[in-house]
Structure 1
Amino acid sequence: MAGLALELQELGAEARVCAPPDGEFAALLARVGVPLVPLGPTVRSVVAGTRPPTANDAFRLAPELVAARFETLTAAADGCDVLLATGLMPAGARDVAEKLGIRYVFACFHVFGLPSRHFPPGARPGKPSPRDETDNRVLWEQDAQRVNALYGEALNSHRAALGLPLVDNVRDYVFTDQPWLAADATLCPSQGMTDLDIVQTGAWVLPDVRPLSQELEAFLDADAPPVYVGFGSMAAYIPKDIARVAIAAIRAHGRRIVLARGWAGLAPIDDADDCFVVGEVNQQALFRRVAAVVHHGGAGTTATSARAGAPQVVVPQIADQPYWAARVAALGIGAAHDGPAPTVDSLFAALATALTPETRARARAVAGAIPTDGARVAAKMLLDASHPGQAAGARVNHTESPG
């Protein structure tokens, strides 16, 4: 989203970004000179506790998020030409755009959540589908019912207060018939994956020019390229011993380690000098310097690794992460770990695939085929639709949230 905001500004438009008020997001937007408009609770408060969110948490949070979007976006999108929303289910965003009489775009970063004849829906809080149901069309209809149960009452209550007609299928209303896919076509092919008319722009990349620290540069230069390990925001999901397992498996390959703390606060298991710990870091620069990247399979980390030509080992935890793991394996640019809880032996075996010269060569070849102008493509599309032939003066509101 920050990458898209930057491109919009460079084309002469004004961008406003509404997002959860985590400090990391504010710092990211500050790099492109866009203030964060706080929207809803922090992501940390939702996903980075000692346990994953429960179904009860979801049914409590969903109406709160709907109310926050109606309140925040009504003010933030006032005077804008377009409201672009992303997130797992940004119910409330299209409704605000409808009330304000402006264009609405839903953008996603993978096809996993879009209704399809070819694969079933992912897990969602609510009444589960029967175990013996295998018809994907039926399963997606039941998924829509679960979305309605989560968001429908709150959404339609707010719509009624604004004089808007009620919505009977919240999911499809949010997604629209023409969602935008902000992902690379090599990593995430969309042709034939869904009945929706997908507009694939390419991934939205924010160029990162921040230097690596002198200490990290010295560590990288001291010996052969190390293996990076990081699990981002997956604090509540990853096994508690993941750092010990990863370090042991990487050492068994004779490699050093760059360990990312992440929201789980991962730490070295001893005081050996073969492990360097990083916090916030320029992954675009770092991943070009490592032998492999071990990660959870987030859309951003997968794409950044692929663009850097770094072999990957994906240890998927939730949501779209198994999809990215499968794509990495199918493309031959790394390995998909079987399951979310690796042992030293299983991670050693996955690394054995990622660290071969053949995987490295394939990763570099794929990297060379991935375009980096997705954010510019999307920005031009937004502005051309709003003010054909005249970008200057347009205003675009972006919103994203954990629900």
Structure 2
Amino acid sequence: MKILIAAAGSYGDVAPYTGLGARLREAGHTVALAADASYAQLVRAAGLEFRSLPADPRREGSGAPGGKRELMRRAAAFVRELGPGIAGAAAPGTDLLLLSATTAPLGRHVAEALGIPSLDLPLQPNAPTGAFPPVVTGTRSLGRWGNRAAGRLSLRIVDRLYADGVRDLRAQLGLPPASARAVRRRRNADSRPVLHGVSPALVPRPADWRPGLELVGNWWPYTAPDATLPPELEDFLAAGPPPVFVGFGSMAAGARDNGGSERLAATVVGALRRAGVRGVIQSGWAGLSGPADGADILTVGEVPHALLFPRTAAVVHHAGAGTTAAALRAGVPAVPVPVTADQPFWAARLAAVGAGTDAVPFRALAAEGAVERLAEAIGRAVREPSYRDAATAVARRMEAEDGAGEVIKAVESAA
């Protein structure tokens, strides 16, 4: 089959689909991945054809913290461009569309126009359930009825967010008017499968989900069989005990915008040294940098988590879905520092399975006592064996999962 995967957003929203695409290619399919142009090298390194989507998440400031209204404004500006981009990327001859949570509300209409099937492959458990509230609204349970009601409300908010884009796209494609909500209802009515790239070891499948909604396990960013860590990082790892990794991905972009990246880096360095551990700081979108002459702390760019995390003592991260899963896969304890969206949900799940400390909210890193608070959490994650024991137990369960294999089965069924 000729398959197009469409994914949009930050690195963590795109990278897992490179590994999935590589597995599909190994299974004999022709695979292209459509994403923002900044991910072209990432996609091609996985042996996939790259097709460009027009929406740049950095230009819209999607990694910067902000209130809910501002977040919605940025999201609306971001997705408005996606519809025509997905339609253009789905060149004639495409047999199947595989859609991320961000691209699905638009990609379904492209699939309808082309007369081909599509499959939703979200990275978050976003279907309404009584088991927990919507993953983007926080961690406070409203009870089973309240959680389900909030989940349905969350979907209506998404519908409203995409409404203009859906209307314009259907007109462009020559389709009659139909809302995203109506299309989703049709898909639910015939129990279309939705495969979530989430480990049931971290989030048990809700008992009240309809048939077809499944948590199949993670798919992972592509890592070449001969990939290695940079020599400077290898030398650092060999020079002492396992370090603590600190990285906030795209989520610390606001620190740079507000001139606070140096303060954030100073907080991180101070906390690592106060905790008495060596550190690896990932620069990320904020451009964080540790001391240039510090023998105990090294600054790195983008490196494969699959190669680095198993060699660390703990991982301090923004609790994005992908980084959370990567740390657990490595059997390494975590200190979650959530910023927004689904990150508090993943931070709470880490604490629930015992593999992470209580969350240190990102905003707390700018408050008085930030160094002491972060250092205390790092110290507990590194020195209390229960955290690593719990992470190791989850890692064993994840090792038995094959999320990409489950997608391949669904693709062959669609064929």
TM-score range, shorter chain: 0.7 to 0.9
Give the superposition deviation at 1:275.
Answer: 0.8
Q: Percent identity between the aligned chains?
A: 35
Q: 1:173 to 1:359 in 2, by over 3 A?
A: same
1:292-321 CA-to-partner distances (Å, cap 9, x unmatched) read: 010001111111111111111111111111
Q: Unpaired segments of 5 or more residues in structure 2?
A: 1-16, 138-144
> What is the letter of the counterpart of residue 385 of structure 1?
A
Residue aligned with 1:155, SS: helix
CA contact (8 A) 2:52 2:85 kept: no
Residue aligned with 2:277, SS: coil
2:230 is equivalent to residue 216 of structure 1:
no
Q: 1:349 to 1:55 in 2, by over 3 A?
A: same
> What is the letter of the counterpart of residue 163 of structure 2?
G
2:348 is equivalent to residue 320 of structure 1:
no
- Mapping 1:362-401, distance limit 5 Å: 362-371=390-399, 373-386=402-415
Match of 1:230 in 2: 247
Residue aligned with 2:99, SS: strand
Q: 1:271 to 1:66 in 2, by over 3 A?
A: same
> What is the letter of the counterpart of residue 16 of structure 1?
A
Match of 2:82 in 1: 65
- Mapping 1:113-132, distance limit 5 Å: 113-121=126-134
> What is the letter of the counterpart of residue 365 of structure 1?
A
2:116 is equivalent to residue 98 of structure 1:
no
CA contact (8 A) 1:91 1:174 kept: no
Give the distance between the partners of 1:156 and 1:275, measured in 2 at CA.
Answer: 51
CA contact (8 A) 1:106 1:176 kept: no
1:56-111 CA-to-partner distances (Å, cap 9, x unmatched) read: 333333332223223333x2xx2222111003353220111111111111111121
2:373 is equivalent to residue 346 of structure 1:
yes
Match of 2:8 in 1: none
**Segment drifting more, 62-71 vs 115-124:** 115-124
Give the superposition deviation at 1:5.
Answer: 1.1
Match of 2:219 in 1: 204
Q: 1:171 to 1:273 in 2, by over 3 A?
A: farther
Give the superposition deviation at 1:163.
Answer: 4.1
Residue aligned with 1:287, SS: helix
**Segment drifting more, 282-291 vs 353-362:** 353-362
Give the distance between the partners of 2:165 and 2:185, measured in 1 at CA.
Answer: 14
Give the superposition deviation at 1:48.
Answer: 5.9
Give the distance between the partners of 1:299 and 1:123, measured in 2 at CA.
Answer: 12
> What is the letter of the counterpart of residue 388 of structure 2?
R
Residue aligned with 2:250, SS: coil
Match of 2:55 in 1: 41
1:182-230 CA-to-partner distances (Å, cap 9, x unmatched) read: 1211022223264573122211123454111222111111111111100
Give the superposition deviation at 1:35.
Answer: 2.4
Q: 1:47 to 1:165 in 2, by over 3 A?
A: same
Q: 1:149 to 1:295 in 2, by over 3 A?
A: same
Give the distance between the partners of 1:169 and 1:232, measured in 2 at CA.
Answer: 31
> What is the letter of the counterpart of residue 317 of structure 1?
V
2:184 is equivalent to residue 173 of structure 1:
yes
Match of 2:11 in 1: none
Q: 1:365 to 1:33 in 2, by over 3 A?
A: same
Give the superposition deviation at 1:281.
Answer: 1.1
**Segment drifting more, 231-240 vs 29-38:** 231-240
CA contact (8 A) 1:94 1:174 kept: no
Match of 1:128 in 2: none
Q: 1:26 to 1:326 in 2, by over 3 A?
A: same
> What is the letter of the counterpart of residue 151 of structure 1?
Y
CA contact (8 A) 1:230 1:296 kept: yes
Q: 1:162 to 1:314 in 2, by over 3 A?
A: same
> What is the letter of the counterpart of residue 41 of structure 1?
A
> What is the letter of the counterpart of residue 248 of structure 2?
F
The partner residue of 1:14 within 17, 30, 55 is 30
Residue aligned with 1:43, SS: coil
Give the distance between the partners of 1:50 and 1:326, measured in 2 at CA.
Answer: 21
Residue aligned with 2:203, SS: coil
Give the distance between the partners of 2:100 and 2:404, measured in 1 at CA.
Answer: 14
Match of 1:292 in 2: 314
Q: Unpaired segments of 5 or more residues in structure 1?
A: 125-133, 387-403
Match of 2:10 in 1: none
Q: 1:150 to 1:290 in 2, by over 3 A?
A: same
Give the superposition deviation at 1:368.
Answer: 2.0
Give the distance between the partners of 1:361 and 1:50, measured in 2 at CA.
Answer: 34
Residue aligned with 1:29, SS: helix
Q: 1:70 to 1:320 in 2, by over 3 A?
A: same
1:134-180 CA-to-partner distances (Å, cap 9, x unmatched) read: 94444344434433332223313432454434323438629943321
Match of 1:401 in 2: none
Give the distance between the partners of 1:49 and 1:294, measured in 2 at CA.
Answer: 17
The partner residue of 1:263 within 277, 285, 290 is 285
Give the distance between the partners of 2:345 and 2:64, measured in 1 at CA.
Answer: 25
Give the distance between the partners of 1:174 and 1:26, measured in 2 at CA.
Answer: 34
Residue aligned with 2:54, SS: coil
Give the distance between the partners of 1:109 and 1:334, measured in 2 at CA.
Answer: 20
**Segment drifting more, 45-54 vs 176-185:** 45-54
> What is the letter of the counterpart of residue 68 of structure 1?
G
CA contact (8 A) 2:198 2:216 kept: yes
Residue aligned with 1:110, SS: coil
Residue aligned with 1:44, SS: coil
Q: 1:214 to 1:175 in 2, by over 3 A?
A: farther
